[in-house]
Amino acid sequence: MKIFELDNLGLVSPEKIILEEISLSIEKGEHLTITGPSGSGKSSLLKVLAGLVSPSSGRLFYQGQDLEDLDPVSYRREVSYCFQQPVLFGQTVRDNMAFPFEIRQILFDQKKVLAALARLDLGPEFLEKPIKELSGGEKQRVALVRNLLFEPKVLLLDEVSSGLDEKTKTLLRTFLNDLHQAGVTLIEVTHDQREIEEAEHLVTIVEGRLAHE
């Protein structure tokens, strides 16, 4: 079953053509890796898939439905986007962990949160830790856990391993592989050569166009 179908997708800004004639099918449960030179449109494509940016032309279908016809809030619960630079808010890690429960109007489940943090080697002491005291790698892991407290159908990853040390990268890869095995569709943008070499399905974007599948 196709989870995404991109039909001649285009994206333009007043200054330039960002994406041009992107046609691509992504199967449910697939792990798709997107690479290409800096500024080629990879992150923009991810933002279109996330529903954060509307395409200028063409159509995008999610599970057979045109994205324009879907409720944005429901869509973003199923399709989760992780930024290259983690965006945290509030004062503490707890503030970030509480947010997914609040938007679903359900009670905060501390046991569930602590178990999720532990999967990325973040102990219980992190729950009350101030955001300003976290390292870059810790912020990235906290952002990822927050996005995955309620498992999405699709996880979009924009160079989330960039700048992480090897130990943290290994933790992250194991975590993502577990999600993939559980049936989550992964779509990630990367420049990491090892991730590119190990890609299950690789596409390359050059100057806004799909170079090859």
H or E stretch covering 43: helix 42-50
pTM over 0.75: yes
Q: Which residues are 195's β-sheet partners?
A: none
Tens digit of each residue's pLDDT (9 = 90 or more) over 95-126: 999 999 998 899 999 999 999 999 888 999 99
Q: Any idea what the CATH number is for the domain that residue 46 is in?
A: 3.40.50.300
The residue range of the domain holding 151 is 2-212
Q: Measured between alpha carbons, how far is 110 from 107 in angstroms, rounded to an integer?
A: 9
Q: Which residues are 25's β-sheet partners?
A: 5
User: Looking at this protein, which amino acid is placed at residue 4?
Assistant: F
Tens digit of each residue's pLDDT (9 = 90 or more) over 32-80: 999 999 889 999 999 999 999 999 999 999 999 999 999 998 898 899 9
Structural domain tally of the chain? 1
Of 186, 191, 211, the C-alpha closest to 201 is: 186
